Structure 1
Amino acid sequence: MTVYIDLENLLKEKQISKNKLCLACNLQRTQLNNYCKNKVSRIDLSILARMCEFLDCTPNDILKLK
């Protein structure tokens, strides 16, 4: 099994733009795109916590097992 980041689907489901998430979580757009495209090898837990707080979700909603 592998862990993958399902952030893009969550953003669509909650109808939140990437720009809004970047501003709220103090992320660079490139950084967010890497999370959305699952190109992150080491997840920054502080970023994950900020995204969860803003999106009102848990890490289980963002991180999935495949």
Structure 2
Amino acid sequence: MDGSKSVITIKEYGKISIHLKEIMDSKGITRNYLARISNTRFEVINKWYNGVVEKMDLDILARICYVLECSPADIIKYDK
């Protein structure tokens, strides 16, 4: 690999954004309800809701998708 796409050499490589709030609000689902029904701590759901997830737990993501009947691509977006 020539390193042309190295994170070190690219100043702007984009970001991942979380759009759980929009989905929950459109379905009328509260953070407390989602935490309870997905067997997840409120603090964890609150971080997802506010888009401040530092490390992604795929099990949590799967539970959220199951409850909300959506796909990970509905929640997570990559913006260049």
Give the TM-score taking structure 1 as reference length. Answer: 0.90
1:8 aligned to 2:8? no
Render the CA deviation track for 1:7-65: whole Å, top value 9, x for unaligned.
11110011111111011111111111111122211110000000001100000111012
Q: State the structure with more CA Rg.
A: 2
Give aligned pairs, total: 66
Distance 1:51 1:32 in 2: 9
Structure 2 runs not aligned, ≥5 long: 1-13
2:63 is the counterpart of 1:29: no
The structure with more helix, counted as a fraction of residues:
1
Q: Percent identity?
A: 33
Q: CA RMSD in A?
A: 1.0
Alignment of structure 1 residues 1-66 onto 2, 5 Å = 1-66=14-79
What runs of 5+ residues in structure 1 fail to find an aligned partner? none
